[in-house]
Amino acid sequence: MRRLRFDVAYDGTDFHGWQVQPNLPTIQGLLETVIGQIEKGPVHVAGSGRTDAGVHAYAQVAAVSLENLIPPDNFRYAVNRLLPRSIRISNVREVQSDFHPRFDAQRKLYEYRIYRDEICPPFHRHFVYHHPYLLNEDAMVSAALLLEGEHDFTAFAAADENDSPTRSRVRCIFRSHLSRNGPQLIYQVCGSGFLKHMVRNIAGVLLQVGRGNLGENDILARLDPANKIAPGPTAPASGLFLMSVDYDAAKG
């Protein structure tokens, strides 16, 4: 048995997220179907995280264990030939048999894109959140910086049936930065890990800051472990991208 690690890029518009769901198209489900055809048997494809329905990825990291001795380059070619054009794999290589894309990840980088012009070009509509209304972008920039460091992000996380109630919701955010790039407002956040809907909830809260409904003290209140503030609002999935996942050189 050998372990193959690979990157997965996808347009998540027409998929119900990463994780397999009965009778619904998902990224993991399609990969397992296609790779199962190559392996001539059932396979399990592990991912670095469970992206939501409509969320996109430049480099989701995945791994699968196979009996098949197909070389990595041939594997890449065969899988891409069978996948829809909205999903592509790259950077296939053999790794240690115990490599796990999620549990071995050291940090992840997400990007949320807000399109600010009055008219959003139709070829951007699935890849941004179109918000042409008045925003105090300077206030949003300052508020984003408050999220850096180690905090309890319970007030930014949706309930997750896969998590134990006793599991820590403390995460370390290495970088939280918002800037303008032409007509787009780009929020980038890099952290040790992320909770369900965490980045979309952060984006939603930053938008409320931009609208003048929340201030920096409201951000700090949400980071207080004793707070009882309900998560949200949740920004739309279309603007969110998983950009990269980093590993220790010896593992990934």
Concatenate the DSSP letters of all residues of 203-236 into one string. Answer: HHHHHHHHTTS--HHHHHHHTSTT--PPP-PPPP
The pLDDT assigned to 249 comes to 79
Which DSSP helix (H) or strand (E) runs through 172? strand 170-181
Tokens of 145: 């910086």
Confidence tier at 88 by pLDDT (50, 70, 90): very high
Enumerate residues 6+ apart whose C-beta is below 8 A from 24.
16
Average pLDDT, whole number, for the chain?
95
Catalytic residues: 52
CB 52 within 8 A of CB 21: no
Q: What is the pLDDT of residue 75?
A: 98
Residue ranges matching CATH 3.30.70.660 in the chain: 106-247
pLDDT, position 162: 63
Share of the chain above pLDDT 70, in %: 96
CATH 3.30.70.660 fits domain 106-247: yes
Topology (CATH level 3) of domain 2-95:
Alpha-Beta Plaits (3.30.70)
* Residue 95: count of CB within 10 angstroms of its CB: 18
Q: How many CB atoms lie within 10 A of CB 63?
A: 21
For helices 198-210 and 137-145, give the axis angle rounded to 10 degrees.
140
Give tens-digit pLDDT for 130-184: 999 999 999 999 999 999 999 999 999 987 666 656 678 899 999 999 999 999 9
Nearest to 46 by CA among 3, 90, 106, 80: 3
Burial zone of 245 (CB within 10 Å; 0-12 exposed, 13-18 middle, 19+ buried): buried
Q: What angle do CA 53, 54, 55 make, to 5 degrees?
A: 95
User: Which tokens hold the place of 179?
Assistant: 């800037």
DSSP-assigned beta bridge partners for residue 6: 62
Cite the residue boundaries of each domain of the chain with CATH code 3.30.70.580: 2-95
16: helix, strand or coil: coil
pLDDT at 243: 98
pTM attached to this predicted model: 0.94
What gap in Å lies between CA 168 and CA 21, rounded to an integer? 26
